[in-house]
Amino acid sequence: MPAVRGDGKSKEAEIKRINKELANIRSKFKGDKTLDGYQKKKYVCKLLFIFLLGHDIDFGHMEAVNLLSSNKYTEKQIGYLFISVLVNTNSDLIRLIIQSIKNDLASRNPIHVNLALQCIANIGSKEMAETFGTEIPKLLVSGDTMDVVKQSAALCLLRLLRTCPEVIPSGEWTSRIIHLLNDQHLGVVTAAASLIEALVKRNTDEYKGCVSLAVSRLSRIVTASYTDLQDYTYYFVPAPWLSVKLLRLLQNYPPPEDAGVRGRLTECLETILNKAQEPPKSKKVQHSNAKNAVLFEAISLIIHADSDATLLVRGCNQLGQFLSHRETNLRYLALESLCLLATSEFSHDSVKKHQETVINALKTERDVSVRQRAVDLLYAMCDKSNAEEIVQEMLNYLETADYSIREEMVLKVAILAEKYATDYTWYVDVILNLIRIAGDYVSDEVWFRVIQIVINRDDVQGYAAKTVFEALQAPACHENMVKVGSYVLGEFGNLIAGDQRSSPAVQFQLLHSKYHLCSANTRALLLTTYVKFVNLFPEIKHLIQDVFKADNNLRSADAELQQRASEYLQLSIVASTDVLATVLEEMPPFPERESSILAILKKKKPGRVAEPGSAGSDGTTPKERKSPALNSVANSNHNTSGQSNDLLGLASPSTTTQNAAPLVDMLADVFSSASPPSVNNGFGSAFQPIDNLKKFACKNNGVLFENDLLQIGVKSEFRQNLGRIALYFGNKTSFALQGFSSSVGTPGDLATKLILQVKPVDVNVDAGAQIQQLVNVECVDEFLEYPTLTILFLYNGVQQRLSLKLPLTINKFFEPTEMNSEAFFSRWKNLSGSNQEAQKIFQATQPIDASHIRTKLIGTGMKLLDGIDPNPENYVSAGIIHTRTQQIGCLLRLEPNRQAQMYRLTIRSSKDSVAKLICDLLCDQF
């Protein structure tokens, strides 16, 4: 067949050529002339090619099934290939296919058996596992089965085991499968090692007999006195891939209890380390790759055992040599392994010897992933002796660090500074430097923590007040710095008030100069600081009362600001000096609890975050070596009952009566649900994934998509024509998602109407971990389409692709508009043209409920106007859509009919396309 895609000069020409070919094939299949095997193979192969080009195929399946009964290899191969790719497990032909597979499995021709096994593995369905689960183990352990068939049988079982773990019953085949490790054929023993490792993860105790066999086989491969598998030498390295699999298999068990087995294993590991020191036998990259693959897996086993000090130190020294290697991958792997070695009491000091090299890597490495591993290693090797130097180097690097690793670095610096703080003025300086350098990446927990420590330690309070006062004098001051400064000065501003340069009036003016630049949450915190100043500095009481009386506070659109201003004003007027002093007294010390920052870091990187200095040279345990900061100061996540005593409120204020949760908790809530999530798989599973795109028309936060591999959460905020969307990708599996990428596209002319700035995302998502991606948005002009979100990653070695729509619609750029009744209906009449109105009458999707309607209408971004419509059952809203090029006014009227359970929705706008778009968007919400 000619190259179909090459023949078409355009998409239309290609489709025309394909349709012509499909018509020809269909006529051949339906013709009176019987087709021979070659012709069937040819036409089925053409259909397969057309399908792979992206076109649907709805015939030819029976002809492919007929090819399975052919005795010719090429015909049977094409038949199986077609079935593996095109036939659905729910197909009516599946019974015929299963019968053909059974016939081939019983065949004496090993080629036919292999083709059948490959087809079973490719389909890999539960039905295949149930049908052939008892036959394949027999093929695997039978003495009559050829080696090439045994190899395929082992790999086929491995595939079915992932689909249906019950495919191999416990105990029935255990011993015979384990003894495949002694097979003389490399393919058989390599495939068996993969199968056994999967079985071990399912039932460790049942397969523990594999340890002695694996050690014995490994010894025969790597020890010079044996010649096992010497015919399978790859660039002077004997059976490297089998060696790697055996070493990985042994990492599922503790060190062998039998002294003889343990001795042989130690000998193997020493031999591998010795060979790493030998001059290379070849300059080719294949030799070094194979040699290093075995070496790194051996070091992983040494780290896993964590019992032989000599091996651990030798492994550390060997990895240290790779830190300056010209190969980027080797440097990366060396840093990653050294992170694990740093947690061992035997090798911690040896790892610290490479501190200068690691710091240099932080400064000079071009690859961001290598720099990130260098940060991890510095964090892991840190202890009392080098804490200040490492923290300073990490702060220096933070100024130029890649955005993708800044948040994690901030957490690590905060943890190290707290854990090893002997001078708390140093700790305060470090955290304030963190906020100055990377304020956007400092979570609430970090600045909560510094305040808790300052409150709990009398000796640092004056220094903290002086330092934050100086920091606030910077022209560009991050909002988190304002929060810390506000809290500290509100509690301890009196300690520096004696200096004319930081008098009460100066402190107040300095804080208030930041007021109008801050968010509502920070303004609420500042108002609380001001009322604290009323108690601390009565001489500036009149200045503060003027602020409380200001219209932008007493009549603020933000209910929290309005309430605080009103109540604080009355408190300052009505309360006596004694009452005021009692109500606004200094915060008491926080109760002692462990810091929450380390827990946040572990949540971000589960399984990969070691407690710093967990194997320090002083020989103490982490618990015994806990720093004074951790012993004397505790974290306090304020609960409802305790909040009444905290007028400054570490928890950010919100417009509700509850305290706003810390930032990380809010983000975690994106992935929480009142009911357990259903198990879904968007990549070929029979289960349907959850896609919540439509729900985001009236909300900004929530779960966008979920299946059994991945959960995607969204948090977004918008102001006029600008917005920021945070995407959270949660790995729900017990395996890492590798090669992870997430891209946002603007199809068609959407690129001219939306400007998207997408920040990079981590390439690996560890098991149970969550990563964040930020998307900055600017609306240039009205738009109709959704941006596309494409996610790619590898799961268990299989490429997965997910295509979604980003929940970004034109109503996100609404600014609520307040109107009285007269203004609303005047504007309503002005927009009465047929091209300015869109109207729909539709059935309610659920019983009509006033609170539900109000929530949805507020969620649209428009201002819900109460008491405007003459009919109290109706709802009206108003808003202005902001774009870079224009502003578009919109009015909404929703008329519910409770008796008929129907709605009439009317949208009027200065642009007809916007009216129709908003109407179509909202009619699905009620």
pLDDT in tens, 100-152: 999 999 999 999 999 999 999 998 888 888 889 888 998 999 888 899 999 99
pLDDT recorded at residue 104? 92
3-class DSSP state for residue 848? Answer: coil
Residues of the chain above pLDDT 70, percent: 88
Please answer whether residues 273 and 315 qualify as being in contact, where contact means their C-beta atoms are separated by less than 8 angstroms. yes
CA distance 187 to 393: 50
The closest of 646, 526, 652, 640 to 584, measured between CA atoms, is: 646
pLDDT recorded at residue 598? 62
Does one domain contain both 781 and 827? no
Looking at the domain assignment, is residue 871 inside a domain? yes
Q: What distances in angstroms separate CA 575 from CA 337, 547, 567, 578, 582, one per listed residue? A: 63, 18, 11, 8, 10
Least confident stretch, 358-372, 493-507, 659-673: 659-673
Please report, for the domain that includes residue 793, its CATH number.
Answer: 2.60.40.1230
Looking at the domain assignment, is residue 24 inside a domain? yes
> Could you read off the pLDDT of 508-566 as tens digits, one per residue?
999 999 999 899 999 999 999 999 999 889 899 999 999 998 888 888 888 999 999 99
Does one domain contain both 719 and 788? yes
pLDDT at 241 exceeding the cut of 90: yes
pLDDT recorded at residue 593? 57
Neighbours of 903 (CB within 10 A): 22
Looking at the domain assignment, is residue 273 inside a domain? yes
What stretch of H or E contains 25?
A: helix 11-30
User: Is 728 a known ligand-binding residue?
Assistant: no
User: Is 43 a known ligand-binding residue?
Assistant: yes
pLDDT at 627 exceeding the cut of 60: no
Does one domain contain both 832 and 797? no
Mean pLDDT of 468-497: 91
pLDDT recorded at residue 80? 92
User: Looking at 674-721, which runs of residues are DSSP E strands?
Assistant: 690-691, 702-706, 710-719
- Helix, strand, coil shares, percent, the chain, to 5: 55, 10, 35
Least confident stretch, 136-150, 228-242, 362-376, 641-655: 641-655
pLDDT recorded at residue 506? 94
Looking at the domain assignment, is residue 246 inside a domain? yes
Which residue, 55, 87, 119, sits at the end of a domain? 87
pLDDT recorded at residue 300? 94
Does one domain contain both 780 and 693? yes
pLDDT at 665 exceeding the cut of 70: no
3-class DSSP state for residue 42? Answer: helix
pLDDT recorded at residue 114? 94
Does one domain contain both 802 and 840? no
CA distance 190 to 243: 9
The closest of 96, 86, 79, 159 to 126, measured between CA atoms, is: 159
Looking at the domain assignment, is residue 140 inside a domain? yes
Per the model's pLDDT, the better-predicted residue between 600 and 447 turns out to be: 447
What stretch of H or E contains 51?
A: helix 37-52
Does one domain contain both 759 and 839? no
Q: What distances in angstroms separate CA 726 from CA 670, 760, 769, 779, 867, one per listed residue? A: 11, 12, 16, 17, 36
Does one domain contain both 689 and 804? yes
Does one domain contain both 847 and 799? no
Looking at the domain assignment, is residue 507 inside a domain? no
User: Is 759 a known ligand-binding residue?
Assistant: no
pTM: 0.62
Please answer whether residues 694 and 924 qualify as being in contact, where contact means their C-beta atoms are separated by less than 8 angstroms. yes
Q: Which sign, positive or negative, has the C-alpha torsion 667, 673, 674, 676?
A: negative
Mean pLDDT of 445-458: 88
Mean pLDDT of 49-62: 89
What stretch of H or E contains 166?
A: none
Q: Which sign, positive or negative, has the C-alpha torsion 345, 347, 352, 355?
A: negative
3-class DSSP state for residue 226? Answer: coil
Does one domain contain both 719 and 800? yes
Please answer whether residues 764 and 793 qualify as being in contact, where contact means their C-beta atoms are separated by less than 8 angstroms. no
Neighbours of 771 (CB within 10 A): 21
The closest of 865, 878, 879 to 815, measured between CA atoms, is: 879
DSSP state, residue 87: -
Token output for 808 = 């970004």
pLDDT recorded at residue 689? 52
Which residue, 185, 205, 225, sits at the end of a domain? 205
3-class DSSP state for residue 730? Answer: strand
Looking at the domain assignment, is residue 523 inside a domain? no
* Band (582; pLDDT cuts 50, 70, 90): confident
Token output for 299 = 């070091």
* Band (916; pLDDT cuts 50, 70, 90): confident
User: Is 38 a known ligand-binding residue?
Assistant: yes
Axis-axis angle for helices 479-492, 424-438 (nearest 10): 150
User: Is 42 a known ligand-binding residue?
Assistant: yes
Query: Which residue range is the domain that position 868 belongs to?
Result: 812-922
Please answer whether residues 914 and 879 qualify as being in contact, where contact means their C-beta atoms are separated by less than 8 angstroms. no
pLDDT recorded at residue 613? 54
Please answer whether residues 495 and 459 qualify as being in contact, where contact means their C-beta atoms are separated by less than 8 angstroms. no
Looking at the domain assignment, is residue 747 inside a domain? yes
The closest of 867, 916, 922 to 888, measured between CA atoms, is: 916
3-class DSSP state for residue 876? Answer: strand
Mean pLDDT of 275-284: 90
Token output for 129 = 């596992």
3-class DSSP state for residue 842? Answer: strand
Can you list the pairs that 612-615 forms with residues at least 24 positions away whose Cβ atoms lie under 8 Å?
612/379, 612/380, 612/382, 612/383, 612/412, 612/415, 612/416, 612/419, 612/420, 613/348, 613/382, 613/383, 613/384, 613/419, 613/420, 614/343, 614/380, 615/342, 615/343, 615/344, 615/345, 615/346, 615/347, 615/348
CA distance 630 to 593: 8
Which residue, 183, 205, 227, sits at the end of a domain? 205
Token output for 316 = 């550390």
Does one domain contain both 79 and 115? no
Residues of the chain above pLDDT 90, percent: 37
DSSP state, residue 722: E
pLDDT at 7 exceeding the cut of 80: no
Least confident stretch, 228-232, 299-303, 379-383, 836-840: 228-232
User: Is 44 a known ligand-binding residue?
Assistant: yes
* Band (594; pLDDT cuts 50, 70, 90): low
CA distance 497 to 493: 6
Neighbouring residues of 878: CB distance < 8 A, sequence distance ≥ 6: 816, 817, 818, 819, 824, 827, 862, 863, 865, 889, 890, 891, 892
Does one domain contain both 787 and 888? no
CA distance 640 to 659: 8
- Provide the number of structural domains found in the chain: 5
Can you list the pairs that 75-82 forms with residues at least 24 positions away whose Cβ atoms lie under 8 Å?
75/37, 75/38, 75/40, 75/41, 76/104, 76/112, 76/115, 77/115, 78/41, 78/44, 78/45, 78/48, 79/41, 79/44, 80/115, 80/116, 80/118, 80/119, 81/48, 82/44, 82/47, 82/48
Mean pLDDT of 646-670: 32
User: Is 28 a known ligand-binding residue?
Assistant: yes
> Could you read off the pLDDT of 703-755 as tens digits, one per residue?
888 888 888 989 888 888 888 899 999 988 888 888 898 989 888 888 888 88
* Band (688; pLDDT cuts 50, 70, 90): very low
Mean pLDDT of 415-421: 90
Does one domain contain both 802 and 703? yes
Mean pLDDT of 220-229: 78
Average pLDDT of the chain, as a whole number: 83
